[in-house]
Amino acid sequence: MIATFKERYGPWALVTGASSGIGAEFAVQLAEAGLNLILAARRKPRLDRLAQQLEEKNKIQVRAVRADLSRPGFLAEILAASRSVEVGLLVNNAGFGLAGNFLDHDMEKEAALLDVNCRAPLILTHEFGRKMAQRKRGGIIFVSSVSAYLATPFEATYAASKAYELFLAESLRYELKREGVDVLALCPGVTSTEFHEVAGMKAVAAMPVGPVVAAGLKKLGKKSSVVTGWHNRALVAFLKFAPRWTATVQAGRVMEGLVFKRGDGRPME
Ligand SMILES: NC(=O)c1ccc[n+]([C@@H]2O[C@H](COP(=O)([O-])OP(=O)(O)OC[C@H]3O[C@@H](n4cnc5c(N)ncnc54)[C@H](OP(=O)(O)O)[C@@H]3O)[C@@H](O)[C@H]2O)c1
């Protein structure tokens, strides 16, 4: 008999960065699948509002936890919120980008990007992955990016952080399969969220969040990674054959148009 999504990855899911965009949509779709939720982010009032809506609509339990994943103590906050429940699905979604000249960026922000996009998923995956392996059941999704496939000038640290997540997910998919734990890297292209505003760049040809999240949930347990949108899949296929430096130069030219006001060389407000 084929287990339902809830039987395989329930009864609880932990979603980081659930206060907006892709993370909030993961919460909505997982609630529709009947999973109870732990939602983590810094903007607690937003999490509380979403939690109330999902509880009322889907008759599930939702716990909202304020956690800043760039801070060393974040794990204790998440463990306190997940006490006495079984987390069968971890969605490492929280993340942000920094667009502009690398040397102009504040070093604290660059380091926080690494903490949120790389260190936090590493720590959460180790913590919850061990518990899943003991139960021989579970799933872990890393929300990486199509940027993981392409070194990207003017978004250098971000692209590198997403490559880290993609490689970690692909390696762990092999390692954890024998433990009964499925691992997937979800690699969206430009998606309609608050991401670009936060990063300080324009968004073009953005996909809606619904199909992006649906693709991730559908491919978990079937593939090690999924790129959303045919144009992004075409780009990744092209990159397998393109000389790496040529691709990086093209990426740099595109990013200059998206990040800088024409001619003044300064990042967009
Ligand atoms: N949108 C795109 O085009 C796109 C494309 C490819 C990949 N992605 C990836 O998708 C993921 C979700 O981004 P999004 O597009 O949905 O952007 P978003 O709307 O800006 O959402 C980002 C989420 O991350 C959380 N977050 C940021 N810093 C945090 C911190 N220090 N501690 C805890 N949570 C933090 C934010 O919550 P708080 O601010 O409340 O803390 C928010 O919930 C990211 O990993 C991003 O890299 C996005």
Q: What is the DSSP secondary-structure string of 36-67?
A: EEEEEES-HHHHHHHHHHHHHHH---EEEEE-
**pLDDT (tens digit, 9 = 90+) per residue, 75-104?**
999 999 999 999 999 999 999 999 999 999
Say yes or no to pLDDT of 262 above 50.
no
Name which residue sits closest to atom 23 of ligand 1, judged by CA: 17
For the question of residue 162 being annotated catalytic, the response is yes
Ligand 1 centroid – CA 121 distance (Å):
13
Ligand 1 centroid – CA 98 distance (Å):
12
Pocket of ligand 1 (CB under 6 A): 17-23, 41-43, 67-70, 93-96, 116, 143, 145, 188, 190-191, 193-195, 198
Task: Tell me the whole-structure pTM to 2 decimals.
Answer: 0.96
> What 8-state DSSP symbol labels residue 186?
E
**Active-site residue identified among 44, 59, 149, 162:** 162
**pLDDT (tens digit, 9 = 90+) per residue, 187-228?**
999 999 999 888 888 777 789 999 999 999 999 999 999 999
